[in-house]
């Protein structure tokens, strides 16, 4: 029963942090008033934190998908021999990077990373993606039509 009390207290603290206005704290530099040009999911600090946590979970859980994606990209651009050598080695490197970045994003999701590069989409200081693309499988890297079906997009 004591564990439930700890879970409830932790949830209450995270909720309070997520909905509080950190712009009132001097020097925080976090702008909670986002302009319409900013992407969906970044309306408030809680959404920024949960998106960062979600990216970290996806990076850790699905980081191994970088290997076949890199092999396929190299095969498409440079041919089969390059895919068998350079594509595999590049894929292994990207798997390691994706996993490490995922762990960093999971551990640091409640607060912005100082010095994190601000991207052009305006995610806010410290909450933007460390790697590009933000997600492992995007509509551009959905080579075998598994995650995004062709019918889901309007041409």
Mean pLDDT, residues 101-128: 74
pLDDT at 32 over 70: no
- Decide if 56 contacts 102 (C-beta within 8 A): yes
Q: What is the mean pLDDT of the chain?
A: 74
Say how far apart CA 97 and CA 58 lie, in whole Å: 13
pTM over 0.75: no
Mean pLDDT, residues 87-109: 94
């Amino acid at each position: 029963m004591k564990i439930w009390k700890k879970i409830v207290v932790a949830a209450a603290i995270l909720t309070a942090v997520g909905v509080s206005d950190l712009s009132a704290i001097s020097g925080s530099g976090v702008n909670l008033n986002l302009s319409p040009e900013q992407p969906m999911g970044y309306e408030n600090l809680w959404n920024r934190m949960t998106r960062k946590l979600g990216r970290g979970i996806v990076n850790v859980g699905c980081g191994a998908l970088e290997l076949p994606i890199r092999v396929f990209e190299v095969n498409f651009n440079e041919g089969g021999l390059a895919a068998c050598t350079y594509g595999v080695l590049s894929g292994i490197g990207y798997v390691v990077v994706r996993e490490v970045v995922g762990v960093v994003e999971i551990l640091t999701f409640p607060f912005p990373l100082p010095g994190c590069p601000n991207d052009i989409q305006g995610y806010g200081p410290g909450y933007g993606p460390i790697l590009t693309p933000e997600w492992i499988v995007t509509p551009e890297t959905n080579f075998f039509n598994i995650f995004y079906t062709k019918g889901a997009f309007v041409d």
